[in-house]
A and B are shown apart, each in its own frame.
Chain A
Amino acid sequence: MTYYRTTMIAALLSATAISGAYAADPIKIGVVTPLSGTYAGIGQQVKWGLELATKEVNAAGGIMGRQVELTFEDEEANPSVAVQKADKLFQVGKVDFLTGTVNSGSTLAVGQVAERAGKLIATTVSFADSITGDKCSPNVYRVNARAGQQSAALAVWLSKERPKAQVFYLGPDYEMGRSTVAAFKSSAEKVGASSTGEIFAPLDSKDYTQYFGQLRAAKPQVLYTSVAGNDTVRLFTQLQEFGLLNNLTVVGASGTVTAQNIGAIGKAAEGFVTGVGYSAEIDTPENKKFVAAFRAANKADPDLYGADSYGMIYAYKAAVEKAKSTDTDKVRAAFADLKWSTPQGEKTLRAGDHQAVQTMYVVRVTGGKFKIVSQVKGEDAIGPDTCKRH
Chain B
Amino acid sequence: MSGAVEYFQYVLAPQMLIGLVLGIAVILVALGLTIIFGLLDVINMSHGEFYALGAFIAVALGTIGLPFWLLLIFVPLVMLPIGYIVERGLIQRVFHTSERHVTTLLLTFGLGLVLEDTFGLVFGPNPYKPDIPIAGGVEAFGIFLPSYRLFLIVIGGAIIAAVAFMVYRTRLGAMVRAAAYDRHMAASLGVPVQHVYAGAFAFGVALAGLAGVLLAPIYSVFPTMGRDFILIAFTVVIVGGMGSIAGVVVAGLVLTQVQAIVSLYISPVWSDPIVFGIMVAMLMVRPQGLFGRLGHG
Contacts and interface: CB of A to CB of B under 8 A. Distances in A.
A260 to B, nearest CB: 5
Interface in A228-250: 229-230, 233-234, 237-238, 241-243
Contacts of B125: 38, 41, 260
A265 interface: yes
A199 B268 contact: yes
A237 B11 contact: no
Given A230-B220, A233-B127, A241-B146, A210 B19 contact: yes
B151 interface: no
Contacts of A241: 132, 137, 146, 148-149, 218
Contacts of A243: 137, 144, 146
Interface stretch (A11-19, A147-155, A158-166, A201-209): A201-209
B261 to A, nearest CB: 9
A87 to B, nearest CB: 29
A263 interface: yes
A9 interface: no
A96 B19 CA distance: 57
Contact of A264 (B126, B144, B227): B126
A1 interface: no
B271 to A, nearest CB: 8
A214 interface: yes
A178 to B, nearest CB: 11
Contact of A217 (B10, B218, B219, B225): B10
B121 interface: no
Contacts of B263: 210-211
B260 A200 contact: no
B264 interface: yes
Interface residues of A, number: 34
A200 B144 CA distance: 24
A243 B129 CA distance: 18
A213 interface: yes
Contacts of A41: 125
B84 interface: no
Given A38-B125, A202-B269, A243-B144, A212 B219 contact: no
Contacts, number: 89
Contacts of A199: 268
Interface string B52-63: 000000000000
Interface string B115-126: 000000000011
A207 B218 CA distance: 8
Interface residues of B, number: 36
B129 A266 contact: yes
A326 interface: no
A213 B132 CA distance: 22
B44 interface: no
Nearest to A242: B146
B268 A210 contact: yes
Contacts of A213: 10-11, 14-15, 18, 264
Nearest to B132: A241
Contacts of A214: 264
Contact of B260 (A206, A210, A217, A233): A210
A206 B228 contact: yes
A55 to B, nearest CB: 28
A207 B260 CA distance: 10
A371 to B, nearest CB: 22
Residue from the set A205, A241, A242, A263 with the largest chain B CB neighbour count within 10 Å: A241
A167 to B, nearest CB: 19
A173 interface: yes
B254 to A, nearest CB: 16
A214 B260 CA distance: 12
A199 to B, nearest CB: 7
Given A202-B269, A242-B144, A243-B144, A207 B18 contact: yes
Contacts of A261: 126-127
B126 A211 contact: no
A243 B131 CA distance: 15
Given A200-B268, A202-B269, A217-B10, A264 B129 contact: yes
Interface string B1-42: 000000000110011001101100000000000000000000
A264 B220 contact: yes
B268 to A, nearest CB: 5
Interface in B236-277: 259-260, 263-264, 267-269, 272
A139 to B, nearest CB: 33
A207 B22 contact: yes
Contacts of A234: 218-220
B219 A206 contact: yes
A189 B129 CA distance: 35
Nearest to B17: A209
B109 interface: no
A201 B137 contact: no
B222 interface: yes
Contacts of B11: 213, 217
Nearest to B219: A206
Nearest to A203: B269
Instruction: Return the 10 tightest CB-CB contacts between A and B, nearest first.
Output: A264-B129, A264-B127, A241-B146, A233-B220, A209-B18, A206-B228, A230-B127, A233-B127, A260-B126, A213-B15
25 contacts: A201-B269, A206-B228, A207-B218, A207-B219, A209-B21, A210-B19, A210-B22, A210-B263, A213-B10, A213-B15, A213-B18, A213-B264, A216-B10, A217-B10, A230-B220, A233-B127, A234-B218, A237-B129, A241-B218, A242-B146, A243-B144, A261-B127, A264-B129, A264-B220, A266-B131
Interface of A: 38, 41, 173, 199-202, 204-207, 209-214, 216-217, 229-230, 233-234, 237-238, 241-243, 260-261, 263-266
Given A210-B268, A234-B219, A241-B218, 8 more contacts: A200-B267, A202-B269, A204-B228, A207-B219, A209-B21, A217-B11, A237-B220, A266-B129
